[in-house]
Amino acid sequence: MYFRLLAFALTVLIGTGSAFAESSKEPDGDEPIRYTIDNKAYWKSYASDGLNLITAPARWDSQDWLTAGTVIGVTGGLYIFDARLQNWVQTNRTQGSNDVATIFKSAGDELYVFPGLALLYLYGEGTDSEQARRTTLLSLQSWFYSSVLTLGVKNVAHRHRPNTGDPYDSWDGPRTSSSNVSFPSGHASTAWSVATVIANEYGEVAAVPPVAYTVATLVSLSRVNDNDHWASDVFFSSASGYFIGKALTTWHRQDSYGSLNVLPLFDGRSAYLLVTYTF
């Protein structure tokens, strides 16, 4: 059962994650970007960018498929060793590792991430920094897509958490229950989706990318240390958050939104909706 669920989850990831490389794969709209919360084009871009993420595999090259295959292979490999890794981590868990986990777990919690992004946006407004506003809004968008993916897979998979004492291969499958939602990790996907945007938008500052990715890594490790997630949970989440953030920042360097239009058509007897999307 697990491998069917993993195949579904990774198919969603493939459809939303790894189109991050070349300009020929980027959306090409006509409307210039203003990165402000009152710009309607920014909010509309959630639909157009979301569609572009879903259709990304149609524009992949061999390197992109190799990357997706690597994610599948590593996630599956970790799954096989999940129980052993959990046992090793819990056996070697210390007060120091608990303290580090407590500190960095908050970097994957929306209760802390959202106020931080709000402060960055206010800084951008106060200093008229387009870079700060852009980073804030792209981080929010990246979080949104990764959260949709995470919640969707959780509700399909319903994997039991390691702290329940249940075997690593305990999966309930699709249901409406809010229990047993170990796969994937929401904290890890949040941390990586935001950290990747920050690292790419402030890449000219040498310290920012390593600090951002280190924090995201420690968030992921904290979930394993605290026995809240299996190793395969956090790896899948980290990969999905990273690739979604990477895709968005790559596309938006063009300073244009993809264009999604819905037009009503009438022929005198019937009504239609014409949906067009420009990449």
Task: Let me know how long the chain is.
Answer: 279
pLDDT surpassing 80 at residue 100: yes
- Winning range, highest mean pLDDT, from 42-46, 185-189, 273-277: 185-189
Give the tokens for residue 133: 């506003």
CA 91/CA 39 separation, integer angstroms: 52
List the domains of the chain with CATH numbers. Answer: 2-278 (1.20.144)
Does the pLDDT at position 7 exceed 50?
Answer: no
DSSP 8-state symbol, 244:
H
| Burial environment of residue 115 by CB neighbours within 10 A (0 to 12, 13 to 18, 19 or more) | exposed
Q: What is the pLDDT of residue 243?
A: 94
pLDDT score of 253:
76
- pLDDT computed for residue 6 by the predictor: 43
271 Cα distance to chain centroid: 38
- Rounded CA-CA distance 213/215 in Å is 5
pLDDT surpasses 90 at 74: yes
Higher pLDDT: 176 or 88? It is: 88
* Model confidence pLDDT, tens digit, residues 146-201: 999 999 999 999 999 999 999 999 999 998 888 899 999 999 999 999 999 999 99
pTM: 0.81
pLDDT for 169 equals 95
